A and B are shown apart, each in its own frame.
Chain A
Amino acid sequence: MAATEQTIKQVNNLGSNDYKYGFSTEIDDIKSPKGLNEDTVKFISAQKNEPEWMLEWRLNAFKVFNKLPEPNWAKLNIPKINFQDYYYYSSPKSLKDKPKSLDEIDPDILKTYEKLGIPLQEQKLLSGVAVDAVFDSVSVATTYKKQLSDLGIIFCSISEAIKTYPDLIKKYLGSVIPVSDHSFAALNSAVFTDGSFVYIPEGVRCPVELSTYFRINAINTGQFERTLIVADKDSYVSYLEGCTAPMRDENQLHAANVELIALENAEIKYSTVQNWYPGDSEGKGGIYNFVTKRGACRGNNSKISWTQVETGSAITWKYPSCILQGDNSKGEFYSVAITNNRQQADTGTKMIHIGKNTSSKIISKGISAGYANNTYRGLVNIHSKASKSRNFTQCDSLLIGNKCGAHTVPYIESSNSDSMIEHEATTSKINEDQLFYCMQRGLNSEDAVGLIVNGFCKEVLQHLPMEFAVEAQKLVAISLEGSVG
């Protein structure tokens, strides 16, 4: 009760502060004051009506954030970030501020939607057009929510989970990515806005791809996404994040934290398609995407599989990882990262083998075009107790044109003599003769590039859920438009 009272007080205080800063107090247009300090953290927590323990957790993370330097290992040219220059919370725009119809949307964006084959209703949502609350996919969502709750599956926003399932949140939040891991992780812990919470009970196999039917709802999770997925013993879940359609966001700085926990015999499959605004061809205005994703295979025979298609953002900094604690546990990482124009990506994975007989597989496909730079950075670490562990890594890079770069930085650390680690890497240029061959069969140059690059990425794309895979293939081709000829 005390917590609630305090929150009310805080909101009231902040309400009056708003005036001072010249912000509207209307509920549908709330922004936190610019900049980052303890009050920002309190403001966010209050907006979300959080219990006190959560606020304390955030404030502690903020203290940690202040002490940590920014990570600097990546081969990225990141302009100095002034954290005081950003807004850290804004509530979704009200209907009346949104565009009234698709006629008001940039025709270039609409053209891309069309190429991706996105249904009209969904186009409206993606581009922020005001839509009635009742429409097809909402009722679809409701149907599935019923089906899920009948099975005991919890699938809700992390804000809701903090209030409704505090025990699960307290037990698992931050248990895979410690607040003190690095400064972006700490920042997210302090100011995260929203995200998803999934709990699959013992013995349950989740019957739908989570978020296939909900992906529209996930769009407003904003710049500091926080997601937590827990798969209890003998359970299975496949989770889809993101969207192939280009997403614009007025917030340049994004730092998500995603934690996965698989208990005994459980399996989590996590697929991402990331297509945030990459900036213009000169690299101006794109999104900085600093993501921390980590999964813990806590139980024996558990499995976590990451599949990602990264085509957007000006800067991508992301290493979805697996901590293989349980004996016989498995980690997988399948990645396609495409950089064009002035985009930069430093992405890869960490596979930490702790349990006996653990295995991991890494397949990374990096494609670079224009003036872009693309780095694979990966760590395979085998602890002394992880006997008979195995890793297989394959990193292929494809260059289009002669002004881009591809880099492969594998770190391999083994403290165990009976483990097996394999690493294969190739770098190639897109072959002019292949392009000529395809074009001689009537394909235009863009379709030819799309076809060849999709072939190059096939091993990864085939791990995406079916309907996502088709969109992802189109996305691969669209991302490279204008890169040849």
Chain B
Amino acid sequence: MLNIKDLKASIEDKQIIKGLDLSINKGEVHALMGPNGSGKSTLSYVLSGKEGYEIDSGSVDFKGKNLLELDVDERSNEGLFLAFQYPMEIPGVQTSFFLKTAINAKRKYQGLEEIDALEFAKLVKSKAEELSISPDMLKRDLNVNYSGGEKKKQEILQMSLLNPEMAILDETDSGLDIDALKIVSEGVNKLRNENNSFLVITHYQRLLNYIKPDFVHIIADGKIVKSGNFSLALELEEKGYEEISKTA
């Protein structure tokens, strides 16, 4: 699905990703853990194609395509989804209109007709209910005056509507209370199947109690320093980043 080889990337001439390798297969959930400033969020921006990030060397293969050559919207329409750590507010744009626009952008890319209004309404209603998102929220402007938890639920709603093959969750657990965390995790777990993959970026092991990863990687100073299974996350929780990095 996603194959990152010796990736080096900079922002404003400062190298943040310093030779990172990561391979994610269909149906797998990988967790990426690391301290502040280790390059976690930078990796998610580089993969999704945000402006301002320079690729110094290395390659990223996504479903057999050179991901780094694609525009931001092409990457999305090819099935790469980023759940933002800080979702953007878009004043004056009704949430449901935004959702429909996004769905139709993908359908157009796939050569499909625009979604039927009734079909869309049904689809959104059922997905929103699963995430305890009130219908009222869909009428409000996108992310405007949403609470932290509402914004994160909104990201998961968008993810479930776009049904990506590769989803990157950038600190989706930050700012969530325990109830919201459960709802969000259940949303992710419902989407999991043998044809899609997840990269879950987080500081804490807490989220991984709900979204069980197949692999756990620890990132420090722009490189993956240690990989393992779920027990690595538990070990990390116990010992802390510094000690784990040392033993790597």
Contact = CB atoms under 8 A, between A and B. Distances in A.
Interface string A437-480: 11111111101000110111111000000000000000000000
Given A436-B50, A451-B101, A441 B158 contact: yes
Interface string A420-431: 000000000001
Nearest to B83: A440
A437 B49 CA distance: 11
Contact of A437 (B88, B109, B141): B88
Nearest to A434: B88
A433 interface: yes
Contact of A440 (B76, B92, B101): B76
A452 B93 contact: yes
B230 interface: no
B162 A458 contact: no
A440 B48 contact: yes
A432 interface: yes
A84 B83 CA distance: 63
A443 B102 contact: yes
B88 A431 contact: yes
B116 interface: no
B73 A445 contact: yes
Given A432-B51, A436-B50, A447-B105, A441 B162 contact: yes
Given A442-B105, A444-B73, A437 B93 contact: no
A455 B90 contact: yes
Contacts of A441: 76, 98, 101-102, 105, 158, 162
Given A432-B51, A436-B50, A442 B90 contact: no
Interface size class of A (residues with CB under 8 A): 20 to 34
B103 to A, nearest CB: 8
Nearest to A461: B92
Interface size class of B (residues with CB under 8 A): 20 to 34
Contact of A443 (B48, B73, B84, B87): B73
A117 to B, nearest CB: 13
B92 A456 contact: yes
Contact of B51 (A436, A437, A455): A436
B9 interface: no
Given A443-B102, A444-B73, A447-B101, A437 B84 contact: yes
Contacts of B105: 441-444, 447
Interface in B65-100: 71-73, 75-77, 81-82, 84, 87-93, 98
Contact of A442 (B77, B91, B92): B77
Contacts of A456: 91-92
Nearest to B142: A455
Contacts of A443: 73, 101-102, 105
Interface string A159-189: 0000000000000000000000000000000
Given A436-B50, A437-B87, A442 B98 contact: no
Contacts of B141: 455
Given A436-B72, A441-B105, A441-B158, A454 B92 contact: yes
Contacts of B50: 436
B51 A451 contact: no
B73 A439 contact: yes
Contacts of A436: 50-51, 72, 88
B48 A442 contact: no
Nearest to B50: A436
Interface string A319-338: 00000000000000000000
B5 to A, nearest CB: 23
Contacts of A438: 90
A439 B76 contact: yes
A458 B73 CA distance: 25
A123 to B, nearest CB: 22
A451 B71 CA distance: 18
A224 to B, nearest CB: 37
A339 B75 CA distance: 32
Contact of B82 (A432, A440, A454): A440
**Which of B89, B90, B98, B162 neighbours the largest number of chain A CB atoms within 10 Å of its CB?**
B90
A432 B84 CA distance: 15
Nearest to B107: A442
A457 B162 contact: no
A451 B72 contact: no
Nearest to B104: A442
B106 interface: yes
Contact of B93 (A433, A445, A455): A455
A451 B87 CA distance: 16
A457 B93 CA distance: 10
A457 B102 CA distance: 20
**Which of A439, A445, A447, A454 neighbours the largest number of chain B CB atoms within 10 Å of its CB?**
A439
A452 B90 contact: yes
A436 to B, nearest CB: 5
B90 A434 contact: yes
Given A437-B87, A439-B76, A444-B105, 17 more contacts: A432-B51, A433-B88, A434-B88, A436-B50, A440-B75, A440-B81, A441-B76, A441-B98, A441-B158, A445-B73, A451-B93, A451-B98, A452-B93, A454-B93, A456-B92, A457-B92, A458-B92
Interface of B: 48, 50-51, 71-73, 75-77, 81-82, 84, 87-93, 98, 101-102, 105-106, 109, 141, 158, 162
Interface of A: 431-434, 436-445, 447, 451-452, 454-459
22 contacts: A433-B88, A434-B89, A434-B90, A436-B72, A437-B87, A437-B88, A437-B90, A438-B90, A439-B72, A439-B73, A440-B48, A440-B72, A440-B82, A441-B158, A442-B73, A442-B162, A447-B105, A451-B93, A451-B98, A455-B90, A455-B91, A459-B92
